[in-house]
Amino acid sequence: MKTIASHRTITASADGTGLLSHAGSLLLLKTLHVTGLDRALSAQLERWRPARAVHESLTKTVRHASVGELTLDCDILAALGTDLRIMTFTVAEGSETAERLRLLEVVGAQV
């Protein structure tokens, strides 16, 4: 810190010797988070940020020989610029498909 008359000023530098050390950097980041400035800045910059992934939601129906028709919620996440695709299949708890999947656990164990 430099003393100017009776007022002190804070000087931040990136050379590792100033007030903005690693601990100071962390404090600055925490302050941005607590005040919401990080989210506000991110929201404002969103329009210039290129998309990195796309998400698609579908419903898939399959027919199983032992338990019949299964209706599954399918979510596909694709990483743009790659061949990477992640697919998840879920069912609503308590649905007819959920009951059939529980039955399939028993039927599959007997085979």
- pTM (2 decimals)? 0.50
| pLDDT of res. 2 | 46
- Can you tell me whether residue 20 is helix, strand or coil? coil
Distance of CA 10 to the CA centre of its chain: 37
Amino acid letter, residue 58 = L
In this structure, are strands 53-64 and 7-9 parallel, antiparallel, or unpaired?
unpaired
H-state helical runs in 36-88: 37-45
Question: Could you tell me the CA-to-CA distances from 48 to 41, 42, 54, 89, 109 in Å, in that order?
Answer: 12, 10, 17, 33, 53
Nearest of 73, 78, 69 to residue 99 by alpha carbon: 69
Q: What is the pLDDT of residues 49-107, one digit of tens each?
A: 787 888 899 999 999 998 999 999 999 999 988 999 999 999 999 999 999 999 988 88
What lies within 8 Å, CB to CB, of 104 at 6+ separation is 64, 66, 67
